[in-house]
A and B are shown apart, each in its own frame.
Chain A
Amino acid sequence: MTKIVFKNIDKPEQYKIENYIKNGGYQGLAKTLKEYKPADIIEMVKKSGLRGRGGAGFPTGLKWGFIPKDSKKPKYLCVNADESEPGTFKDREIMEKDPHISIEGAIIASYAIGANVCFYYIRGEFVLCAQRIQKAIEEAYDKGYLGKNILGSGYNLDMYLYRGAGAYICGEETALLESLEGKRGLARVKPPFPAVEGLYKSPTVVNNVETLANVPDIVLKGADWFLSIGTAKSPGTKIFSLSGHINKPGNYELDMGTPLRHLIYDLGGGIKDNRKLKAIIPGGPSVPILTEEHLDVKLDFESLVQAGTMLGSGGVIVMDETTCMVKTALILMNFFKHESCGKCTPCREGTVWLYDILYRLEHGEGKKEDIDLLLKVCENIGGRTICALGDAAIVPVQSTIKYFREEYIAHVENRGCLTPFKFQLN
């Protein structure tokens, strides 16, 4: 297994700039400013095949390339550190333990798109992350990696730490921009895409922390090196956050294409208490669940799509045989209804409707028709909302019904749940 993002993660006090530099840090930036024009960097990243690690998997170089070259408006880079997808905690570890790798990546990206201001938007709950990033930004200024005339190149960049304040939707890039503009975090309609009209109506790129953390090594070692890792269409590595009924939860950086079984059994140490595996969410609740039969699926963008799900954020939640699927859907729907921004009708109204039905089913007041009604309501949300939250919200319902319809029927017939979560607080 190759380590790119996590190569120094467990080194002592790696969050300090002297240690980061000692371990090879900021050489990517130095090389960038010394050897490459912004367009070269974009080309290199395009060639490397790096895709966004936040969830959507959009090719990063392509995104940078959308920034209009002739625009007279200022350009902005926003680091999306609003990591809020349930079951996902990879960016948190990067920010806490190796903050500079993401900052270095962000500086290179800013240079590539011609931005002189960069916002590092961290979800408000990540207090330690904010402290580490703030400190890291200050250190970077001190060492001349930020500010005026960086490393004598004539390139200027200011970076601001910005803290969200409790809103999952602000991880959606347009809502993040609204939030940065000091507004309620309502998703914006696209187009115009942020590359054309983003922050303050100016061209803007929004990149995930993990995505940017890959950039310094791509610059240092080249696109071909990166392409040699992972699969042809999903090059590089991916960090998976493993949680739930698993013996060794935590973050694991794997080459793209590693089988799911390897992650769960070899690295994760298998299911807690040797119970039977029931379901796996492979990339955060916004992606469909998998079951035991999918254990040999490879963890990369394409293979997971083939298996009927997605790579998503890499938040792998493992559920054993004691887990009630209706309750799982209910918990997740509670989350989505709580986080729906309320701007567009289907998501605002639909998430609550779905929640109400699931609640009845779970609490013994379900009817047989409710199961199909759930699917109908999902159909009425999917593809009709402004942002992906609506599409994500229906996923847990659709996929749990797909694999565990009989469990839903049992909830109706038995007037409630016969398999409440077994795990209790020790």
Chain B
Amino acid sequence: MVKINVDGKPVEVEEGQTVLQAALKLGIYCPTFCWHEKLEPIGACRICLVEIEKSPKLAVSCITKAMEGMNVHVSSPKAIDGRKGVMEMLLVNHPLDCPTCDKGGECDLQDVAYYVKNDRSRFGEPKRRFLTSARSTFDEKQIGPLMYLTMNRCIACFKCVRMLKEVAGEYDLGAFGRGVFTEIDVVKDQPITNEFSGNTVEICPVGCLTSKPFRYAVRTWLTQKKSSVCGFCSDGCNLTLWVGGDKIFRATSRKNDAVDEGWICDKGRYGYDIVNHSDRIKTPLIKKNGKLEPATWEETFDLISNKIKETKDKFGPDAFAGIGSARCSNEDNYLFQKFFRTVVGTNNIDHRVAFKRLLPSPSSSSIENLYTMTNSIEELEKTKMIVVIGCDITSEHPIIGLRIKKAVNNYATPLVLINSKKTKLNAWAKTEILPKFGTEVALINSLCNAALNQKADQGFKDWVKTYSPQKVSEITGVEANAISKLAEEISSAERCIFLLGRDVLSHPQNQELIDAVYNLAHLTGALNKPHSGVNLLWEYNNSQGALDMGVLPDRLPGLTPLNQADYLQNVEKVWQSKISTKPGFNIHQILDGIDKGEVKFLYVMEENLVSNYPDRKYAQAVLAKAAFSVVQEIFLSETAQRATVVLPAASFAEKEGTFTSVERRVQKFQRGVRPQNQSKPDWQIISMLALWMDYENFNYDSTEKISTEIFSLVPSYLGLDYKKLGNNGAQWNGFVSKKEAMTYSLKKTDLKPIQSEQGYPFILTTGNLVHHCGTLSGYSENLNLVVNESFCEMNQQDAEKLGIKTNDEIWLESASGKIKTKAKLSSNLQPGMVFVPINFKELEVNLLMDKDNLVDWIKISKV
């Protein structure tokens, strides 16, 4: 530690910290422009000049290291005079067009000019001007689908370019030329579209970079700021929503160092416009004569409650099924399952609609059965090796992707990618392994074979020896010595974090693959070392929460089995109801139940079954058969269109509550705007329905009341305090905290080779695009400005053989169905594989899928 004095006040800072950091620690304001706490300081703008005793020149505080005994003056006349001088220089060429500048009211330059209190300029020359065209009025130009550049306002802090290069590793915005004509710009014909571009707008200290959706929409002082959490992917970035009346004007980062470090991706930043979308469901709807007609809440509650009573009387509680949502809050999901378990009396609930082969329900009995992220996002910086398996991290988890880049850049952490296709992160990877799709289990077994040690018993050793590098090399297409080398690297890593993503979760051998990775982690010691472990990355903002809340046919909240007597007793006491211990139907059984006529009543909460179920025809057919179905939704989705009753639900921005992020972080979000039209928060709809049916136990008048119940009942959430969740949220740990001491027994996980299908030579894979998440973001007009067209990515050679070029219209056809889209040639995919994004409702990709075939085989032809 170093002791220094700033403006006469003593302060201690760590060695290597700067004078500026010391001042900030004391709460002493010192203006900055080019400094940003997460970027390498460059000391360029000079506005943070301070006086240091015994130093002849003023010092630039953002780059001057604090030295023992330094006497620093931020507020001395000399320092103030220095900053005045710099401010005068900064304003020399700045247009001072504040009245018409979009940054007005939140502009650093404006604020610092005000603080510096220099109201005269001695500059009387013509100002430097960048003109975008001879006729331009505002000297501005659009540099990307969502960004504008007004170069004349630039004060050359370079934060935009530095952020993109240092943090995101993106190269679509640069600094060109030199001197006073240094220019920030894109290169010709290459608009800025990287998924972190919006951060440059947010950190721009002036009105040089502005966002298309927000510019000239509103003055910031006419808005209110609401703390929120992103409702798209599961990373759990913290957002600030800027609202006025019932409109959300923009979303910005609300820095949470543990999660996002103040960076958010563009889907989180710009996707808010789904909330105010004109296609939102406006009133409850009841199907009359095959057509959904507007109705009142009273009518619908009457209808639903009568139908529930009627069906329950006639067919019993197991004629009901409920589908919860990985998008809804913990409170929504908690009430949803409570409703089904108490009011209805069934365990027929699930939310895992997109998976053909379901993993066993997570269990808190042992760590490998938790199926969760056992490390935290922050720990990625502390580990010594990162192995990503089956995940296009950049697209699925952009912010985890940033943390990985940081680990690689700042700590030289080796990154290993094991994917069946090349992903954008490969520029950071030390090793990239591309096994053939479906052979991953063999690859991991082979790594285990190479990493064998005394932890394995003879039985396991004998078994795993059959996965020799040579043999597995033939199966996987990965070179034998690459396998041995990787095994050696993982074994010798002091710490190692494994990240398993979407492609593992939806893999035909998902469970074996996860077990195999656990075997490998166990053999290499990663299970018991600090900052090491196996991590499953669930997809959506509250995937983890929906699991935790027990929206599963065989788990009570807290991942507890139905028959765990002591807990059951406790739950029954709190819920004042008997609970069935008979496991209910899972998602597939629910659909089969409807198909067979066993399930008469289906209740879907914010889940687009038709689009997301891996067999569209079946989902459609089943919904048509359902005797009565209620769909609670934001938009009139393909599922809602087929419902008997549609209830307008409020989105994440219109309600408050908690989400549990991918790293088990429970985070509170505030309501941004009032629910649009007649919509209501999901929890409120359920609560009102229950009250309508005279279940007084559902008398919740706020989310806090539900959260408080959760936090006093659900084991892993015990002790959390809704009021004290604060800005950073809190991770539930439970068993995870004891993982270093855990024991693990190796499992034999055999490869089950996938069977090809005659006449259908291509394997269909799906996933999210970097600018979209699920089917919801497709409603965002902002995000659609970046990408709004579906496509089918295919291997270049495959395409050439079929005479297909990029943008050609092609048919994708499986035994189940046929869809038309455009081709996109790529060298990222191995031959025989195609990739189709799931994000566009126009492209009904699950029409190609058959729930009973774990692999979707298709053929391709030119239109």
Contacts and interface: CB of A to CB of B under 8 A. Distances in A.
Do A and B touch (CB < 8 Å)?
A: yes
Interface stretch (B172-180, B384-392, B611-619): B172-180
Contacts of B63: 189
A350 B122 CA distance: 12
A185 to B, nearest CB: 8
Nearest to B82: A384
Given A189-B63, A383-B57, A345 B89 contact: yes
A92 to B, nearest CB: 24
Interface string B138-157: 00000000000000000110
A345 B45 contact: yes
Interface size on B, as a range, is: 35 or more
B42 interface: yes
B58 interface: yes
Nearest to A350: B89
Interface in B470-519: none
Contact of A340 (B42, B43, B125, B178): B178
B92 interface: yes
A170 to B, nearest CB: 11
Contacts of A360: 125
Contact of B46 (A346, A356, A373): A346
Nearest to B91: A349
A151 B433 CA distance: 47
Contacts of A189: 41-43, 60, 63
A380 B86 CA distance: 7
Contacts of B125: 353, 356-357, 360
A200 B56 CA distance: 31
A357 to B, nearest CB: 7
A189 B175 CA distance: 18
B156 A348 contact: yes
A373 B44 contact: no
Contacts of B424: none
B58 to A, nearest CB: 7
B46 A344 contact: yes
Nearest to A379: B85
Interface string B29-47: 0000000000001111111
Nearest to A372: B122
Given A383-B57, A384-B82, A342 B122 contact: no
A184 interface: yes
Nearest to A357: B125
Interface size on A, as a range, is: 20 to 34
A341 interface: yes
Contact of A184 (B44, B156, B175): B175
Contacts of B155: 345
Interface of chain B, helix or strand or loop or mixed? loop
Contacts of A338: 179
* Chain B CB within 10 Å, residue with most, of A337, A360, A379, A380: A380
Interface string A319-356: 00000000000000000011111111110111111001
A386 interface: yes
Nearest to B62: A189
A383 B44 contact: no
Contacts of B89: 345-346, 349-350, 353, 380
Contacts of A185: 178
Given A343-B156, A384-B58, A349 B90 contact: yes
Given A189-B63, A352-B128, A353-B92, A341 B85 contact: no
A379 B85 CA distance: 9
Contacts of A373: 122
B766 interface: no
Contacts of A344: 43-46
B626 interface: no
A266 B71 CA distance: 54
A401 interface: no
B170 interface: no
A353 B121 CA distance: 12
Nearest to A341: B178
A5 interface: no
Interface string B55-84: 011101001010000000000000000100
Interface of A: 167, 169, 184-185, 189, 191, 337-346, 348-353, 356-357, 360, 373, 376-377, 379-380, 383-386
5 contacts: A342-B178, A345-B45, A346-B85, A349-B90, A352-B180
Given A342-B179, A352-B179, A384-B82, 15 more contacts: A184-B175, A340-B179, A340-B180, A344-B46, A345-B90, A345-B155, A346-B89, A349-B90, A349-B92, A352-B128, A352-B180, A356-B125, A357-B125, A384-B49, A386-B44
